[in-house]
A and B are shown apart, each in its own frame.
Chain A
Amino acid sequence: MRISSIQSYLKISMIVTLVFVPAVVYADEGDGFSIAATLGWLAIGCGMVANLSLVIFKMMKKMSIMKLVGDAGTSQNLTAMYKPVLNFHIMLNSVGFFAGLSHGFMLIRDLDYISLSLVIVMTVSMISGIILRFTSGKNLKFFSRLVHGQAVLAAMLVTLVVLHVITRWHHGIIMNFI
């Protein structure tokens, strides 16, 4: 009983710590643009860690089920670990999304087509993820699972992030005229 309460306190403190992660960028002594840019990089970093960890975990689980790695015990351990990994994925993606949102609001004057496309794709991923996590309706859950798990959506997200970074490098060398 006591151990479980300590664990729940640890979990809550971990979540609170993650929420304050974007505040780290303000430690930088740069100007407003530097803070906004750091927020953007933070969003990219959070997204990469959150999604890669889940993808690697799922691959490991699949391989252990196929008996390529480890034994039956490994598979059971991985199944037990699924929920914490999923929570980590949700939490870090939320932090990344809100960091990206702040980055977007700070640099809204330089909005361009690629940034807007990125916002749309990110929002669709986020909304479908939230619905998937919190809905209990069978049809809605299946629908959100389909939308959230589309490889096309992931490919578009990665492509748009890469294009956004390329076009915005050095304060937008390419996009300054648009």
Chain B
Amino acid sequence: MKIYSYVLMVLVILATSAPTLAIAQYENEGDRQPDTMILTIFSLTLYVTIFAILGIVGYSVWKVFKIRRKAAKMKLV
């Protein structure tokens, strides 16, 4: 159970660090035109967010099913 929360935390860290890297990259570039790498890093934020949301929803569904199964078992006993 704890592994899921750790996975979610890793996703959040990725989501937060990716745009920070892009900003740092932009600062390094100065006045020059930025390359496509920044665009890629920013786009990563969206994908990480989508996967994090799917992770949260999946985790919640799994938890509900787990409790339902437990309740059904207790009814049988």
Binding site for B on A (CB under 8 A): 112-114, 116-117, 120-121, 124, 139, 142-143, 146-147, 150, 152-153, 155-156, 159-160, 163, 166-167, 174-175, 177-178
- Is the Cβ of A156 less than 8 Å from the Cβ of B52? yes
- Is the Cβ of B9 less than 8 Å from the Cβ of A177? no
Whether A139 contacts B60 in the complex (CB less than 8 A), given A117-B45, A159-B12, A159-B16, comes out as no
Known: A113-B45, A114-B19, A156-B15. 5 other contacts (CB 8 A): A120-B46, A143-B61, A152-B9, A152-B56, A174-B26
A121 to B49, CA, bound (A): 8
Partner of A146, one of B23, B52, B63: B63
- Is the Cβ of A147 less than 8 Å from the Cβ of B46? no
Write the nearest CB–CB distance from B5 to chain A, whole angstroms.
8
- Is the Cβ of B8 less than 8 Å from the Cβ of A112? no
Contacts of B67 in A (CB 8 A): 142
Whether A120 contacts B9 in the complex (CB less than 8 A), given A114-B19, A178-B42, comes out as no
Write the nearest CB–CB distance from A32 to chain B, whole angstroms.
25
19 pairs from A and B in contact (CB 8 Å cutoff): A113-B42, A113-B45, A114-B42, A117-B46, A121-B49, A124-B53, A142-B64, A143-B61, A146-B63, A146-B64, A147-B56, A152-B5, A152-B9, A156-B15, A159-B12, A159-B15, A166-B23, A174-B23, A177-B34
Contacts of B61 in A (CB 8 A): 143
A98 to B8, CA, bound (A): 28
Q: 9 smallest A-B Cβ distances: which pairs?
A: A146-B60, A117-B49, A113-B46, A113-B42, A152-B8, A159-B16, A143-B64, A147-B60, A163-B19
